Structures are given as structure tokens and as C-alpha cells.
Structure 1
Amino acid sequence: MHHSGRTFAVDLNGHSCSCHAWDLNGIPCLHACAAISWFHGNPEDFCDAVYKKEAYLRAYQPMIMPMTSQDQWMKVNLPPLLPPKYHKQPGRPKKTRKQAVEEPKLPSNPYKLPRYGIPLKCANCGGEGHNRSSCKDY
């Protein structure tokens, strides 16, 4: 089969395709469906047996009875369940908490202005694009 400039080999008897999607999940990929429809077949006949209605009914054949309400449960003479005990993790505690990805980043010093967007200006000659240490007029 040709799809998006690539060629895929489909084996209908072996239930496999060279894109390996059919091999992985047991459901025919679009290349396999095209090959099946070319031979006037039904793609549902080529699906793995676990996806069919009979397998679903076989899995749920023994009736699962709903649970009764909590006040009708059997009383057991065991102590009540407690949460696990707190265990302090080794290592130094973090100074700041971890921020979420969508949370805006706060500057480390709120009183300092950012440098981006402002052109460099030389304190020696007043020209733009360089500073005093790289000035040619000094």
C-alpha cells in the first residue's frame, strides 16, 4: 500500500503490516483496512479476538454482585486503619518551593531592571553598541 509517499507491506494472512501498528494493538491499521477493502472484506473479521463481543461477555460471565452499604458490612475486631507514620526525608530542606510550569517567573531582585531591550551605551564617548571597556576612543 502507498501512503504519504511511503510504501507499506500488508500481510492479511499473518495479520501484520510493515508500519507495525496492527502488530502492536491487534486492530488493523489504515493500510490493512485499505488492503482488506480492496479484497471486499470486513475489517472487523481481522481484529484480534480480545476485541470481540464474545470475549467481553466471557470476561463478565460470572456475575459481580454490587456491594452492600457500609452500615451492613461485617464487624471485625481489628484496630482501625491509620495513615502511615511520617518519616523525615534526609537532606537539607529547599529554600524555595518548586513553582508550577504555568506559574510566572518572579525576578530574583524586584528592584533591578532587566537589561534586555535597552541598547548598550558607552559612558566614555556616549556612543551606542559598546561600553567603556571596549571603547576605541579611550
Structure 2
Amino acid sequence: MHHSGRNFVVDLNAHDCSCHAWDLNGIPCSHACAAISWFHGNPEDFCDAVYKKEAYLRAYEPMIMPMTSQDQWMKINLPALLPLKYHKQPGRPKKTRKQAVDEPKQPANPYKLPRYGIPLKCGNCSGEGHNRISCKEPRNPNIKPTRKRKVAKKNLQ
């Protein structure tokens, strides 16, 4: 029984477990290793043949010759290989680099000048260092609001 309370069926003759981990990679899963050790077997005997020493030696049996340097390659009369054509991917492009700490941020509109070094000026009292919203002075009735809000009209019946 598994620690999660589930039961897994292991068939040692078919090299199969119901968790399917043994089927995927060819190495016995923990359930299969428990069953193999129950019968006093060696789990390495139940591994797939591709993991054995003989398969490794067969794969590297022919000697792999080192390659010569590029200046010794045979010259051919074909055009040089070109890179693939650029295909713009859909969606917003990712940032390509991080800005330095002392580098000023780029404005959203390239035709609009940034407000670097210009102090805030209050539209209510004409003081510097704050704006109309954070102004401590009473509201000046001579200043008209910059933007009128639309109020939803309710139908009276």
C-alpha cells in the first residue's frame, strides 16, 4: 500500500506497474523496487536494456574522430548561409534590457517633454511642493474645476 492510501499493482514478469512510471523511463519505480526486494531480487536486473553497460559500449564502439579546424575545411562554391527571416511574434514585446539606476525614464510620448526638475504648483493656492488635491488651504471658489464629471441621471417615474 502506498503512503497516500492507494494500491499499485506490480507485474515483475511484464516489467509493469499501475503507476506507469516504470513504463515511461524503463527504470523500476518505488513500488516495483519494493516488490523486487520482497522477492530478494536486484532492481538493476529489472532495468531496461538501454541502461546497461553493454548498450553503452555498443553505442560508443565505433571511434568518433575529432574534427579538423575550420580553416582546413574543403572550400565549396555555394552561397554563404543566411540567418532565418525575422518573424514578429504576436503580443507585447518583452523588455530587452534593464535601465541603469541613474538613467532617466523615457516618456511615453516622444513629443512631450518630461517634467524633470519642475516643482509641483498648486492650482488652489499657487504654492509649490503640492497639488490641489493635497492642499491644506480652503478651496478657492474662483478656480473652476479642470474636468467635469458626468453624473448618471436617473429616470424619475
Structure 2 partner of 1:21: 21
Equivalent-residue separation in structure 1 for 2:52 and 2:41 (angstroms): 17
Report the number of matched residues: 97
Please state if 1:67 is matched with 2:67.
Answer: yes
Structure 2 spans left out of the alignment, 5+ residues: 99-151, 153-157
Query: In structure 2, do the counterparts of structure 1 residues 81 and 49 end up closer, same or farther at CA, with 3 Å as the change threshold?
Result: same
Q: Given residue 81 of structure 1, which amino acid in structure 2 is its aligned partner? A: L
Q: Write 1 or 2 for the structure with the bigger share of helix.
A: 1
How do residues 1-138 of structure 1 correspond to structure 2 at under 5 angstroms? Answer: 2-4=1-3, 5-85=5-85, 97-99=92-94
Q: Given residue 32 of structure 2, which amino acid in structure 1 is its aligned partner? A: A
| Deviation of the 1:83 alpha carbon | 2.5
Q: Percent identical across equivalent pairs? A: 81
Kindly indicate whether structure 1 or structure 2 has the higher relative contact order, using CA contacts under 8 Å at least 6 residues apart. 1
| Deviation of the 1:56 alpha carbon | 1.3
Query: In structure 2, do the counterparts of structure 1 residues 36 and 84 end up closer, same or farther at CA, with 3 Å as the change threshold?
Result: closer
Structure 1 spans left out of the alignment, 5+ residues: 104-132, 134-138
Larger Rg: 2
Q: CA RMSD in A?
A: 2.9
| Deviation of the 1:99 alpha carbon | 4.3
